[in-house]
Amino acid sequence: MQLAPFFPLLYRILQPTFPNCLWSGNPHTKAVALTFDDGPHPVYTPQLLKVLDYYSIPASFFWLGACVNRAPATAKTVSDRGHWIGLHGYDHRSFPLLSPPELKLSLESTQQAISQACGVHPTSVRDVRPPNGLFTPQTLDLLNQWQYRSVMWSVVPEDWVRPGIKLVVQRVLEQVQNGSTIVLHDGACGGQDVAQTAKILIPLLLQRGYEFVTIDALWYGHGQKISPI
């Protein structure tokens, strides 16, 4: 069963319940953040980068440490393009299933992988999106205690199950609004279609007058800042 119809409802319930997470940006500003999870992938991410380059679109990537270690050159290319980088855990295990020491190690190992691949300071990468969108209040308390910033989502077209590029684009267009945080995937699940999806979606959103910004730009609207990578 596809879960895409339930994500808008979840967003409306969870966003006010956990206001310290970044779910979306300023509702009065016609800007959206295009974000990509589960990479970097040595094939799918470079394909996506060509589309982002063509439209001069900044994006935000939430990486798995294991994938960074498998494709460090791709990671470096993304970073060098000036895209925003965040953490998605080391190997996509749901955070509530990890003990606090395991969670901390997962995040720090991912930071270290990014540091080695991209030549940035490990602690400059502080945005965290939980794998599978799963978290508990304890998870958020730990992330805050360790000085990470929790990043969630507002538009989830469930592209990782590959329902078809046309349907993914349709779902985004039906849900997008000012400040939306759109989640797509450039990893092993869904990455096969991500470049073509972006190639269709980006010009349609531009035609609607949306500006593309990074997750960091959305945080500025919440009064929080972080050193650039």
Domain ranges of the chain: 34-220
Phi, psi dihedral angles at 156 (to 5 degrees):
-125, 95
Catalytic-residue membership of 88: no
Closest by CA position to 189, among listed 10, 41, 8, 6:
41
Task: Look at residue 9 in the predicted model and tell me its pLDDT.
Answer: 80
User: Could you tell me the pTM of the whole model?
Assistant: 0.94
pLDDT recorded at residue 207: 98
CA atoms within 13 A on the CB side of 221: 21
Confidence of residue 224 (pLDDT cuts 50, 70, 90): low
Q: Catalytic: which of 127, 185, 186, 216?
A: 185
Active site residue 37: yes
- Residue 147 has what pLDDT? 97
Evaluate the omega torsion of the peptide bond into residue 40 and state whether it is cis, within 30 degrees of 0: yes
Predicted pLDDT at 13: 85
- Domain at 34-220, CATH from 3.40.50.10580, 3.20.20.370, 3.40.30.10, 2.60.40.1930: 3.20.20.370
